[in-house]
Amino acid sequence: MTSDDPGPLVRLYGLTGGRARALGEAFDLVAIVTTVSVPFEPLGLVPEHLAVLTMCRRPTPVADIAAQLRVPLNITRVLLSDLRREGLVTIDQPSADQTIDERIYREVLHGIRRL
Amino acid sequence: MEFAGSEPGVRAVAPLATALKILVAGGFGVGKTTMVGTISEIRPLHTEELLSDRGIGIDDTAGVEAKITTTVALDFGRITIRDGLWLYLFGTPGQDRFWFMWDELALGALGAVVLADTRRLQDSFPAVDYFEQRGLPFVVAVNCFDGARRHDPTKVRRALGLTGSAPIVLCDVRERDSVKEVLTTLVTYAISGEFS
């Protein structure tokens, strides 16, 4: 995608109604998004919103969602923040401090060795 | 998929799913994407961040009509440790003006791999400085390209001006076992807490 090719950008910002920033609390690239199983009106949702709801029946990190939707990260974040505002997904932030969870790290270590 | 978890014996759906990040940094063409691809269980995924001319990394609360001037590509791979625990490897964008993306990637990260090419060690300086300043555990992985001399880790440490105890590993990013060794060295180092 190049800056002198407005076509895809028009479409992308069409997805978000021109918004470039996500609403509410910021969330990480590996924050976990999970669909909340509630009845909802698909009114006002774009196909990408619905794709997220299907994808995130299994908890899925933000980066994976962006890659699967083939939509840039910040646009993905706007879409996710829409769904969060509507109560259709939860977004769980990873711990942002650098304190380590040794049990999980050891699990990771063993997991890598097993590969 | 079942979401009801209130009944005893009904399994809640992965309530504690966790994804950990490892950054793979280093100069252009040093083999970051190759390393990610060698160990990832999926073909490395690609995403992009759109940057506006309103200023990189500045929070734009108005959030409207930002004009996009460039995109930053971000490639990443994934290793499933178990159901609900994933390790993500992010290749960091090379250019210095994308430091703001490094900040986000580094936040809460397990650690980083600084990939180095002994013919262009200076390309690794910015990444080493960055992780030292942030106190993020990192290892220096010297990618031994065909024909590249196998350098003495002590000399590499001196040439890089490493002040801390960051391990140095010689590797071949095309070899799975070699990449595994780099990652296990990093995680072991992170657990040790010696870097802080």
| pLDDT tens digits, one per residue of A96-113 | 665 678 899 999 999 999
Q: Which two tokens stand for residue A112?
A: 């890598």
Q: What is the pLDDT of residues B9-32, one digit of tens each?
A: 443 444 478 999 999 999 888 899
A109 domain-assigned: yes
Number of structural domains in chain A: 1
Round the CA-based radius of gyration of chain A to a whole number and report it.
16
Domain of B23, in residue numbers: 18-192
Residue B75 zone, left/alpha/beta (φ > 0; ψ -120 to 50; rest): beta
Q: What share of chain A in percent tops pLDDT 90? A: 53
Q: Do A37 and B79 touch (CB under 8 A)?
A: no
Q: With respect to residue B4, please indicate whether it lies within any of the assigned structural domains.
A: no
| Contact list, A109 vs chain B (CB under 8 Å) | 184, 187-188, 191
Alpha-carbon gap, residue B9 to B1, rounded angstroms: 16
Q: Tokens in use for A100?
A: 């380590």
Instruction: Tell me the C-alpha distance between B61 and B106, whole Å.
Output: 24
Higher pLDDT, residue A90 or B154: A90
Comparing B152 with B192, which gets the higher pLDDT?
Answer: B192
User: In this structure, what token pair is assigned to residue B93?
Assistant: 């964008």
Residue A1 belongs to a domain: no
3-state secondary structure A70-93: CCCHHHHHHHHHHHHHCCCEEEEC
Q: Which of A40-49, A62-71, B4-13, B15-24 holds the top average pLDDT?
A: A62-71
In a domain? residue A45: yes
Give the residue-averaged pLDDT of B161-181: 93
Q: Which domain holds residue A74?
A: 6-114
Mutate to test the interface with A, among B1, B50, B113 (most CBs of A within 10 A): B50
Q: What is the mean pLDDT of residues B33-49?
A: 88
- Chains A–B, number of C-beta pairs less than 8 Å apart: 139
Q: What is the pLDDT of residue B148?
A: 60
Mutate to test the interface with B, among A29, A36, A68 (most CBs of B within 10 A): A29
Option in A61, A107, A113 nearest B19 (CB): A61
Question: Using the beta-carbon criterion (under 8 Å), do A92 and B90 form an inter-chain contact?
Answer: no
* CATH classification at residue B113: 3.40.50.300
B11 part of a folded domain: no
The tens digit of pLDDT for each residue in B84-121 reads: 899 999 998 766 667 778 888 999 999 999 999 988 88
Tokens describing residue A49: 């919103």
Phi and psi at residue B195, to the nearest 5°: -75, -25
What's the pLDDT at B65? 46
Interface of A with B in 41-100 (CB under 8 A): 57-59, 61, 63-64, 66-68, 72-76, 92, 94-98, 100
What do you get for the CA distance between the two ends of chain A, in Å?
Answer: 36
